[in-house]
Structure 1
Amino acid sequence: MRHIYLILFIIGFCDFMFAQIDTIKVSKDYKTILVLPEPYSFSINGKDLNFIESFPKSTSEKADHIVMLAYNNIAPDKQDYTNYTVYTKNGLAYDFILDLVAIPETKRWNITKDMADNFSEISLSINHSEGTDAEIIKNEDTALPNDIDILTNGREENFKITPLSTSLYEEDRIAYLKQKCKNHISDKGNIARYFSKVGDIFIWLKGVYYDREELYFLFTLENKEPIDLDINFLKTFIGTNYKQSSSNQKSEFQPLFRYGQPTRVKGNTSASFVLIFEKFTLDKNKHLVLELDELNGNRNISLDIEHQLINRPKKFGK
């Protein structure tokens, strides 16, 4: 009899725990929309190759509050679920379970701040005055710093958003570019699932942005293999892509500045980096090519970046 009570207790406890987390139904043929109370920052997705995020192709401020979820339509699964946590730019975290269904009953979720897992821990005040981004106001019991710890290439680094001024750009352009990259290296990006791979090594293009006279390309190099990836070189080219032509060529196109470009990515880790170019556009028969060559190895990757992405960059924030 005691065993029966124990089993019932465990089942009831599990039901209680899962009741605290909303289950969001996702399908292959529909987009499930999350409308967040604050701009999206990044997410943790237990199965990001199955449950796919995308974002509106709009420059509206409201678009920064929206995440669209769908299931990979080429996956053979009929049943699947995973954990999913969304962080907004004010530091709040929202925990969900994603569940694969044929047709979701609720196709739009209006997320409210009181649904945040850490809502009781943090109070935030957004300062909209010129030259500032967001000021974090801490409760007495909260030890949340203004600096944010991020994981880069398997190691923690201290990350602090620093407001930038026109005077810094005019006085020391490279210092401005470096700080701009540091401010945004952990951004989720504005491009969904644009990558090239060899085996289990991926180069992801996360975002294309513009600011002043420069274009910023945000990349993540992900090594899902156990063997470290040592990089011989990482080069960029402008290539032609005329259909059915044997005369396609490419010429090296050097970035103005490189930020965080790794020389080694350890096994089962990733590294984000930014390449900055003088502002440019491409016609429909040209593209930007990123080539990675492995040192003492053959895991070489080439990523073609289409002209549409380059000609329609997103404006960088502060």
Structure 2
Amino acid sequence: MRIKTFISLFVLFGALFGNAQTDTIPVSRDYKTILVLPGIFDFSINGKELNFIESFPVKNASDNAKRIVLLSYNDVAPDTEDHTNYTVYTRDGLAYDFILRLVEVPVKKRWPITKSMSENLEAFSKLKDSTNISTSVATPKPPMERTDIATRTKEEELGVSPNEETTEEPLPLTRELYVLDRMEYVRRRCYYNQFNKGKVIRYFAKYDDVFLWLENVFYENNEIYLQFRLENKAHMPYDVNFLKFRIASNYRNSPNNIDKKHEPLFRYKVPKRVEGNSENYFMVVFDKFTLDRKKVLMVNVDEDKGNRNLSLDIDHSVINNPLAFKL
């Protein structure tokens, strides 16, 4: 009896160990690890984005290129052992969870990902089924609002086909979706509101002809959404090295100055590059927070291989008085 129990436990732990190995992606400094996703890449959550670097193939018309993610480790990082969490969402709303681990030479460099590896496939199937049942009676679509037209125009300006995401049947922004998959709800909320007309009056930072504009601050459920516009009026492209947030005293030289990192919950379409004479809209989402009168939210944009760095202080009166979404 003890022998059978031992064998059963050995098989069970062996299976669990095998699954853990499958979910661990080796990443190195000198090689590119290639993830081939089953759907078009939408966004990712990277626990150590400054160490485990994410890049993509050169933009082209091929849908295959939009399903590929290239991973490597920062060659200037001093670490010899490192790992982090990494979650990838595709545009159909499915999520894939991995552990990225630093290795010297990856045994496997190309990783085909299948839908069966999704963490929320079963839950999304149930939600879609329930949505189809509740909407079995066809209802006329509401007329397109001006914000929708503006969104499509901006997508065309940024070189994104307006049909890429609108061909997808979106899940409704319901409480059920929020409870089922909070990050997917937040992503869709960002998608629908990324090009909203700015309500915050002349809140910006600039360096020469590069501007960082705060367009809107929204609150919904337990999240604060900041909508930004990064505008480059210069001829030379602006490459983003990093975007960081901190909560600090509004009296920089005060001996009681508090300066601490404030990590976002979610980043939506933060640009890697803004071409000359163009602009990019993006959103950053935080768990609910407020500021007292002596604090500001500092936003720092660092230019890669350049010095056109931007620093924007957002006052407590802006953070503490957010707008509500219209839809």
1:262 aligns with: 271
Which amino acid in the other structure matches residue 154 of structure 2? L
2:193 aligns with: 184
Any idea what SS the aligned residue of 2:173 has? Answer: coil
Contact 2:150 2:195 in 1 (8 A): no
CA deviations over 1:74-106 (Å, ceiling 9, x no partner)? xxxxxxxxxxxxxxxxxxxxxxxxxxxxxxxxx
Q: Taking every aligned residue pair, what percent have the same amino acid on both sides?
A: 40
* Counterpart mapping for 1:148-159 below 5 A: 149-152=152-155, 154-158=158-162
Distance 1:200 1:147 in 2: 24
Superposed displacement of residue 136, structure 1: 2.0
Any idea what SS the aligned residue of 1:149 has? Answer: helix
| RMSD, aligned α-carbons | 2.6
CA separation of 1:265 and 1:148: change in aligned 2, threshold 3 A? closer
* Counterpart mapping for 1:41-190 below 5 A: 135-136=142-143, 149-152=152-155, 154-158=158-162, 160=166, 163-190=172-199
Out of 224, 228, 231, the residue aligned to residue 237 of structure 2 is 228
| TM-score of the aligned structures, taking structure 2 as reference length | 0.51
Superposed displacement of residue 178, structure 1: 0.4
CA separation of 1:294 and 1:147: change in aligned 2, threshold 3 A? closer
Q: Which has more helix, going by share of residues?
A: 2
2:288 aligns with: 279
Contact 1:234 1:290 in 2 (8 A): yes
Any idea what SS the aligned residue of 2:154 has? Answer: strand
CA separation of 1:162 and 1:293: change in aligned 2, threshold 3 A? same
CA separation of 1:313 and 1:146: change in aligned 2, threshold 3 A? closer
Contact 1:151 1:157 in 2 (8 A): no
Contact 1:150 1:186 in 2 (8 A): no
Q: Which runs of 5+ in 2 are unaligned?
A: 1-138
Distance 2:141 2:257 in 1: 48
1:300 aligns with: 309
Which amino acid in the other structure matches residue 242 of structure 1? Y
Which amino acid in the other structure matches residue 237 of structure 2? D
Out of 196, 202, 209, the residue aligned to residue 193 of structure 1 is 202
**2:321 paired with 1:312:** yes
Which amino acid in the other structure matches residue 208 of structure 1? V
Distance 2:298 2:263 in 1: 11
Q: Which runs of 5+ in 1 are unaligned?
A: 1-131, 138-144
Q: Which has more strand, going by share of residues?
A: 1
